[in-house]
Structure 1
């Protein structure tokens, strides 16, 4: 059973009292409930003993006892004498990062509606499928026609690639998890950006990695000095990065930083995993970046992950890994313990779409451009004190709230029918309470409804937000 220590929970509970007018035990219970709903306290995790948490938080044991009692009453904790209090969820209620409840508008996922051309591509794939009936259907690398199409796409983008450098996976998350458990040994260090894609962090942790964080900000992008020092001082075995339209900030690495990062990684034996799922979703007449590995010298250890989950539809579970042939062979040997291949029908659908992928991407860019501009205008009108940076690509904006109340705002938004992930969901140890990731990839009516809900929630949370600049400096 996993255990969250009193100190670790204190970090995740950052400023839980300052942003609520409720009694202390209710504020504490609400924040712990959000941590469970948001997936930051995993189901089955044992919480600290009441005495330990009270001492860590500087509150009376009665406060913690009352908070735990309320959580038990609402079925978010179960307690057994001698075993402590264990996180759970009420029957039939899922974490908001997974499934929205009835009547909720779910903005916890950065995704677009299905591509209109998807149905036709699927119909064509169904006609093609019988030609594969003579095979076993179990294929750990992918059907040749799709591997060739993906390799051709990399070659056209400026990185010569052969089909045997491609493995087709069940989406990008599957690729990241497979790479993590194949390339990492328990206790190895892994470089990660903060904020970052939370499920990638979970995959690295599940493989036993010790995380080495490097900051990415709206204003400056990557902390280049910290990135250099992290690689030089820790020589991480693996680094997971999103160099193109980083999730959630939307920033992209300059060509110069890509070259320096690859060279550093090569010198220190670090295998970089570049998540390129958003790489071709530039919005503003984008500078055409080469695939990440193309910026390195021959022999540079760089692996790339891609998928159609963001560009076509999340329901088409097809992704891929582009790596050296030796790495692909290692992945083939490791894969069978988790799955036996990607569904053939879905691979055929993607192969058909890749034949005219430039047109697919152009239509998606137009859609995202309209969505970004719409969200910016709505926020400027209804919550002008928030800071939405200009985003050049991707699907999300990393919006500055001006106060460390993201978790409290998320709870208030749920009361308005909106499900959205709090800023700390994208960080480590409770950071990013001053930010909220807002997708601009939803239809107009849903975006308007979401901003309305956020504006209503902000009226309750915003008036309680601390405004003293000196106080804010303590939580930066």
Structure 2
């Protein structure tokens, strides 16, 4: 058994809380612990406290904890070695989700809204400006100056003073994240990520040979003590975090937690890659906290943004906010895969960002209507599902009464709906209690899709589904 993180009896007892107060208590405790593993709040390969330690923390007999641990082993959630302790694992479910597009269904798995109004006109204006650039080489290796000015100005407006030479333009946020991982870490280094999290970033980390460690997050947000403890225990080289309308849970990290995380990263000498793809998509009042990098004093926070979620998925323009020296290093590293972002797309993004108040108002109104329609449909047709309507972003994270996300995925596919099962966002196939539903479709489409999902859900207990496929952004 590979060495993993150890969780204390005090912390585990607090996470169990009042969830295990049914009788027999050992069974309720075992089910509560397995639920923490399935939700990703207790990662796999976490060493559980000794039976006596957990019993004291819970105020129960050691025999009760022994029986709960036995139940966990029998059901595939615990692996023990004599003299070495017990580690969390997951039952073998025959394979996890794959990623493949399927355009033939109502798609609740892809969080990609349609283009904002005015994009065609902005493209016409951008084409008119192209003549000023065609006499050159066309390779703006750091990004067009006008776009870098626009992005820097927006950071300054959000409370983070930024100059254009701190902005490095990429082909979308995903390229920015992958470049930063490659620049900041070497194979074998540890990367700390939330669980659940954006699956393509995990894929990039695996491709680079990084060791993945996770800390749980729910729709209610981050457990600050657990998050800081993960930094102290793992001392990761990089942390990849999504504090702004987290994908997939929709949670929004408050300013105090951001400050504490950055301070802890400073102590553990950890670089933080902050994915801000949804930062501009606040749907409720007071939903736009200052960027995480406001709390940075020594250049360890790297902010990654994107035009794709706000403006249009087909506009593959992203950026990294960093130091000028790091921007130059990123430019050299990028030459392994490409040289620059297309000039035309950068001009188009610049025009739309200049009209940001109107664009944001349009997008906010659209997504708010869609979110409210999806939430209302879920309450009507799936009343036993639990969720928190997110204050921003484009996805809703729903918890089902039983761990049947994979089966539901297959049943929904047969009814013409593609949804994103929880295991797609976990490190090792956990999160079977959850599904992610995007609300980028119009209200009438969402209401029809939920009715179909409700029919599919009624069948999942009797008709297990195949391993899910899909395309998730």
Interval containing the TM-score (normalised by the shorter chain): 0.7 to 0.9
The match for 2:121 is: 120
The match for 2:429 is: 430
Alpha-carbon displacement from aligned partner over 1:95-128 (angstroms, at most 9, x marks no partner): 9744214x32222211211112111111111111
Alpha-carbon displacement from aligned partner over 1:423-465 (angstroms, at most 9, x marks no partner): 1000111110000001112112321232122012112115679
The match for 1:306 is: 305
Q: What CA RMSD, in Å, does the superposition of the two structures yield over aligned residues?
A: 1.9
Alpha-carbon displacement from aligned partner over 1:179-237 (angstroms, at most 9, x marks no partner): 11121100000010000000111111111110110110123x11222211221122111
The match for 2:101 is: 99
CA contact (8 A) 2:219 2:387 kept: no
1:142 aligns with 2:122: no
CA contact (8 A) 1:240 1:274 kept: yes
CA contact (8 A) 1:96 1:108 kept: no
CA contact (8 A) 1:188 1:210 kept: yes
**Shift in alpha-carbon separation, 1:343–1:212, aligned structure 2, 3 A:** same
Aligned partners of 1:123 and 1:97: how far apart in 2?
35
**Shift in alpha-carbon separation, 1:361–1:462, aligned structure 2, 3 A:** farther
Aligned partners of 2:238 and 2:98: how far apart in 1?
30
Q: 1:168-207 counterparts in 2 under 5 A?
A: 168-207=169-208
The match for 1:235 is: 235
CA contact (8 A) 2:215 2:230 kept: yes
**Shift in alpha-carbon separation, 1:463–1:57, aligned structure 2, 3 A:** closer
The match for 2:255 is: 255
Alpha-carbon displacement from aligned partner over 1:134-186 (angstroms, at most 9, x marks no partner): 11112221111101111111111111111111111000111111111121100
**Shift in alpha-carbon separation, 1:382–1:155, aligned structure 2, 3 A:** same
1:164 aligns with 2:190: no
Aligned partners of 1:458 and 1:331: how far apart in 2?
46
CA contact (8 A) 1:255 1:295 kept: no
Q: 1:55-454 counterparts in 2 under 5 A?
A: 97-101=99-103, 103-219=104-220, 221-296=221-296, 298-454=297-453
Aligned partners of 1:368 and 1:154: how far apart in 2?
23
The match for 1:17 is: none
Deviation at 1:263?
0.8
**Shift in alpha-carbon separation, 1:96–1:349, aligned structure 2, 3 A:** farther
Deviation at 1:409?
0.1
**Shift in alpha-carbon separation, 1:190–1:374, aligned structure 2, 3 A:** same
The match for 2:51 is: none
Compute the TM-score of the two structures, normalised by the length of structure 1: 0.75
Aligned partners of 1:148 and 1:141: how far apart in 2?
12
Aligned partners of 1:432 and 1:402: how far apart in 2?
12
Aligned partners of 1:380 and 1:462: how far apart in 2?
20
Deviation at 1:300?
4.2
Aligned partners of 1:171 and 1:203: how far apart in 2?
14
Alpha-carbon displacement from aligned partner over 1:321-342 (angstroms, at most 9, x marks no partner): 0011221121111010011110
Aligned partners of 2:396 and 2:463: how far apart in 1?
24
Q: Which contiguous aligned blocks of 4+ residues in structure 1 show a shift greater than 3 angstroms? A: 95-98, 462-465
**Shift in alpha-carbon separation, 1:300–1:142, aligned structure 2, 3 A:** closer
Unaligned runs of 5+ in 1: 1-55, 59-86, 88-94, 466-476
Q: Tell me the SS of whatever aligns to 1:293.
A: helix
Aligned partners of 1:261 and 1:304: how far apart in 2?
14
